[in-house]
Amino acid sequence: MPRPRERIPAEDAPITPVRVVTEPRRGLSREEAARYVGIGPTKFDEMVRDGRMPPPFRIDGRVIWDLRRLDLAIDALAEPAGRRYLDGADWAPRCTTTSRRT
């Protein structure tokens, strides 16, 4: 007769690593596109509506965003800020108070 298995308390259970393998893809879902851009889905929707992010397209019943178009949109948004950063304007922290040691 086989013995019953001994239960291992959760805190002592061995950790099984989970490996997620994803293939490189160019079409992203709404949630993936928002995460790729670095914002939440609600903000992403707002940016699609006002034209700062590209609209999706359909492949059969699937709505997807093109990764390359997302890159172009991010580049367009980052351009003025990047130029200011490289020129040094509007980047350096400003002190509101000064202190002198005497």
pLDDT digits (tens, 9 = 90+) for 43-96: 999 999 999 999 999 999 999 999 999 999 999 988 765 555 445 444 444 444
Rounded CA-CA distance 47/43 in Å is: 6
Q: Are 33 and 70 in contact (CB under 8 A)?
A: yes
Its pTM stands at: 0.58
Which uninterrupted H or E stretch holds 86?
A: helix 67-87
Domains in the chain, start-ordered, CATH in brackets?
A: 25-81 (1.10.1660.10)
Type of residue found at 2:
P
